[in-house]
Amino acid sequence: MKKIFEVAGLLLLIQGVGGLLHEWFDWFPLTGLVTRLGFLNGYEVFADIVLTVVGCAVLIASDRVTDR
């Protein structure tokens, strides 16, 4: 279970940071998941920041999960 949280947190973090780099510098065109969602038009930077923060939170929380 811990590995699932670590992978999910890492994917969220990569999407968030990659999306911010895509918005600000037009880098990483493949990580623009937020740009492909139509209902987030105009809020891409905010959504990428939220993805980054949630990814960090999931990675931190994954340390609390114990494998049995």
Indicate the pTM of the whole model: 0.85
Which residues have C-beta within 8 Å of that of residue 37, sequence separation ≥ 6? 47
Task: Please choose, from the candidates 30, 31, 37, the residue with its C-alpha nearest in 3D space to the C-alpha of residue 19.
Answer: 31
Q: Print pLDDT tens along the chain (68 aa).
A: 888 999 999 999 999 998 888 888 887 777 677 777 888 888 989 999 999 999 999 999 998 887 76
Burial class (CB in 10 A: 0-12, 13-18, 19+), 11: middle
